[in-house]
Amino acid sequence: MIEFKNVSKVYPNGTQGLKNINVKIEKGEFVVIVGLSGAGKSTFLRSINRLHEITSGEIAIDGKSITKAKGKDLRIARRDIGMIFQNFNLVKRSTVIRNVLSGRVGYHSTLRTVLGLFPKEDVNLALNALERVNIVEKAYTRSDQLSGGQQQRVSIARALAQEAKIILADEPVASLDPLTTKQVMDDLQKINQDLGITTVVNLHFIDIARQYATRIIGLQAGEVVFDGPVEEATDER
């Protein structure tokens, strides 16, 4: 589903973000990327949907190079990838449902979405997505009135409304307390198991990684230093 072939990334200032990465993630996996701050987790994740450009090598999704995709092909490839950020990235002054509907943007003409005109099917899709993360009662609440955990669940719903086949979550629980962390991770796990959405999550806590991952990839200084099932992952990174 996601394949890294000899991928390296050197930032303009010379920092090596990723070093010769070869990784294949299969459909339906729940992969957690672990590593200390600066290990390359975010660079790894953001290379997949080209929020970051790699310097050499190739990344393919379903056998198709995203590295070489341009224009419409890139937009279509990105439609399959839902992104979850540490800081939720919601439009704060918009309602929850409007934020979730923004996941539908790639499916309609720009004019329609600028005007906020979404068909009834999209509204239903958005409400279903909110139901799946147990927050449908907040659909018409302004996003900035929600707690951090609730906002993160809205951003998961946005990825669901997008009908993403892949979810990339960059430190999704880094700003949340332990209870909320569990709720958000449980939601991600449930979606992975119920819908078979391939999930790649960056975490800097190995204990949370162990509870949820089917596979752990350890990064250090831009290199893969561990790749295997949870049982084999130790605390030494």
- Positions in the binding site for ligand ADP (CB under 6 A): 11-13, 15, 17, 35, 37-43, 52-53
SS3 category, 199: strand
202 strand-pairing partners: 33, 170
CB of 213 to ligand ADP, least distance (A): 16
Q: How far is the CB of 74 from ligand ADP (least distance, A)?
A: 14
Q: What is the largest CA-CA distance in the chain?
A: 52
By beta-carbon proximity to ligand ADP, the closer residue of 15 and 109 is 15
Spacing of C-alpha 91 from chain mean position: 18
Identity of the residue, 210 or 237, whose beta carbon is nearer to ligand ADP in the bound complex: 237
* DSSP track, 23-66: EEE-TT-EEEEE--TTSSHHHHHHHHTTSS--SEEEEEETTEES
Q: Scan for tokens 């949907």, then name that residue.
A: 49
Nearer to ligand ADP, 46 or 132 (CB): 46
User: Which helix H or strand E contains 77, and what residues bound it?
Assistant: helix 71-79
Minimum CB–partner distance for residue 70 and ligand ADP (Å): 16
DSSP tally for the chain: helices H, then strands E: 8, 10
Q: Which residue lies nearer to ligand ADP by CB, 13 or 110? A: 13
Task: Give the 3-state secondary structure of residue 204.
Answer: coil
Phi, psi dihedral angles at 93 (to 5 degrees)? -85, -5
- Whose tokens are 């970051």? That residue is 52
Query: Smallest distance, Å, CB 137 to ligand ADP?
Result: 34
Least Å from the CB of residue 167 to ligand ADP: 17
**Whole-number minimum distance, CB 21 to ligand ADP, in Å?**
12
- Nearer of residues 87 and 147 to ligand ADP, judged by Cβ: 87
Say how far apart CA 216 and CA 207 lie, in whole Å: 11
- Beta bridge partners, 136, equal none
CA of residue 56 relative to chain centroid, distance: 23
Residue 123 or 221 with smaller CB distance to ligand ADP: 221
- Residue 37 or 110: the one with the smaller Cβ distance to ligand ADP is 37
Considering the complex, what minimum distance in angstroms separates the CB of residue 11 from ligand ADP?
A: 3
